[in-house]
Amino acid sequence: MKPYVVGVSGGSGAGKTFILSHLVEKLGADNVCLISQDNYYLPRESQPLDEEGIHNFDTLRSVDMERCFQDVEAVLKGQTVELQEYTFNNPNKKPKTLCFSPKPIILVEGIFIYNHPLLRDLIDLKIFLDVSEHIRLKRRVLRDNVERGYDLQDVLYRYEKHVYPAYGKYISPFKKKVDLIIPNNERYEKALDVLSTFLGVKLAAYQKHHQQNL
């Protein structure tokens, strides 16, 4: 019985990190392997430039999705994978070595995870976090300007020129193709409880199968 793979996507600022941290807490960290697309961004010098010469981190060429697919596939085969944390070009943050090991539940999150056909096929349950645009913008500003220290004008420029177009081109089309849509504007607790219960059933079945085959 293979691990159960859950994909979580949605636009930038949809609350993926927040939702996933709650899922890991409810299911138990020992039962979950969390693989984030954020750690597969290419180096800044490899990022494409827009018409103003600004690095655009919101294109399919910005992320090594093939490596992400290979790592998820390796974990599914029982292998352990190591990867250096991506620190979003923050010189004050020392990157950690991340270790992805096989667990009953594998969570894969990121804005482009459904754009890679082979990775998409590995995902058993596809989730889309649906959030109003003005809330996504607010969350993006709070994250990039307040938490990461990026210049506010740069954050707003990137949202208008990079983030918003990428959402319409690469991300929102999959909203019609997923298994579950979770509105995450304000209230998400009930949806999270339902999802946690469902994954708890999958976890129990995996553990029972494993015990029977020891």
User: What is the structure's pLDDT at 83?
Assistant: 95
Question: pTM above the 0.85 mark?
Answer: yes
pLDDT tens, 38-89?
999 998 899 999 999 999 999 999 999 999 999 999 999 999 999 999 887 6
SS3 146: helix
Q: Could you tell me the sign of the dihedral formed by the alpha carbons of 184, 22, 33, 93, in that order?
A: positive
| Residue 88: Cβ within 10 Å count | 14
Per-residue confidence (pLDDT) for residue 77, from 0 to 100:
96
Cα separation, 172 vs 17, in Å, equals 18
- HSE-up of residue 211 (Cα within 13 Å, Cβ side): 6
The kind and range of the H/E element at 140 are helix 133-141
- pLDDT value at residue 89: 65
pLDDT given at position 144: 76
Query: In a structure prediction context, what are the per-residue pLDDT tens digits for the chain, which is 214 residues long?
Result: 899 999 999 998 888 888 899 899 999 999 999 999 999 999 889 999 999 999 999 999 999 999 999 999 999 999 999 999 988 766 677 889 999 999 999 999 999 999 999 999 999 999 999 988 888 888 888 877 766 677 888 889 999 999 999 999 999 999 999 999 998 777 778 888 999 999 999 999 999 988 887 7
pLDDT score for 211: 84
Structure tokens that stand for 149 in this block: 């220290």
pLDDT at 114: 98
